[in-house]
A and B are shown apart, each in its own frame.
Chain A
């Protein structure tokens, strides 16, 4: 079957660094996405990894290990506005672009 696991909730303080892990077991693999979703809003794209390694984009970085079925999203210099849900999603095949989403990790940043 298809399964994506990520922690339900995490807390952190302003200025800190937080790592959100995601493990996946899917029938195929054609890339892993991270999305951010603020309460009451639509998900917005953060990052995409298809090859092993680290992709850095400003304060956010995403890492992928295909052999381990593992990814993480690293958020540096946390700000209050980073309080949101972070969704890990996998594209399982090339035939279509449908994604399988994890249930999301709700991150609360406090001052």
Chain B
């Protein structure tokens, strides 16, 4: 079944450690995104990539980095985790608005990260 996969499903991480959250899509979408979702704050954009080889900063990029070496993969790295990065992380992908459909975003199942 086509879609987006994320790994791991959940993780407990010690503060100061680094971690990479993985995201892979098989829909050949140009654009990919990383969001964090916190109670009372909704979904907030961390980083995005409109096409392979390019990335951009979202609303809350500090402490996170991304890369987009190919169309399918968009890993998110926490270089030195802090407790405030405890959250649920969602990866999403979409086609460009106007090119195919509405440009709706398809979301992965999420990664629940706890930083202690």
Show the binding face of A for B, using Cβ within 8 Å: 30-31, 33, 41-45, 48, 50, 87, 89, 91, 94-104
Whether the pair B97, A94 counts as a contact (CB closer than 8 A) is yes
Supposing A43-B43, A43-B90 touch, asked if A97 and B105 sit within 8 A by C-beta, the answer is yes
Contact with A along B69-106 (1 / 0, CB 8 A): 00000000000000000000010001111100011111
With CB as the reference atom, state the residue of chain B lying closest to A85. Answer: B42
Whether the pair A98, B33 counts as a contact (CB closer than 8 A) is yes
Show the binding face of B for A, using Cβ within 8 Å: 31, 33, 35, 40-45, 48, 50, 56, 58, 90, 94-98, 102-110
Whether the pair A102, B104 counts as a contact (CB closer than 8 A) is no
Bound CA span A87–B35, Å: 14
The residue that A101 contacts in the complex, of B42, B95, B96, B104, with Cβ under 8 A, is B42
The main secondary structure of chain A at its interface with chain B is loop
Whether the pair A102, B42 counts as a contact (CB closer than 8 A) is yes
- Which residue among A42, A89, A94 has the maximum number of chain B CB atoms within 10 Å of its CB? A42
Supposing A42-B110, A96-B48, A102-B42 touch, asked if A48 and B102 sit within 8 A by C-beta, the answer is yes
Q: Which residues of A contact B109 (CB under 8 A)?
A: 41-42
Count contacts between A and B, CB distance < 8 Å.
Answer: 65
24 examples of A-B residue contacts, CB within 8 angstroms: A30-B97, A33-B102, A33-B105, A42-B109, A42-B110, A43-B43, A43-B105, A45-B106, A48-B104, A87-B43, A91-B97, A96-B48, A97-B50, A97-B94, A97-B95, A98-B31, A98-B45, A98-B48, A100-B45, A101-B42, A101-B43, A103-B40, A103-B41, A104-B43
Whether the pair A96, B102 counts as a contact (CB closer than 8 A) is no
Whether the pair B107, A91 counts as a contact (CB closer than 8 A) is no
Q: Which residues of B contact A97 (CB under 8 A)?
A: 31, 50, 94-97, 103, 105
Bound CA span A87–B96, Å: 21
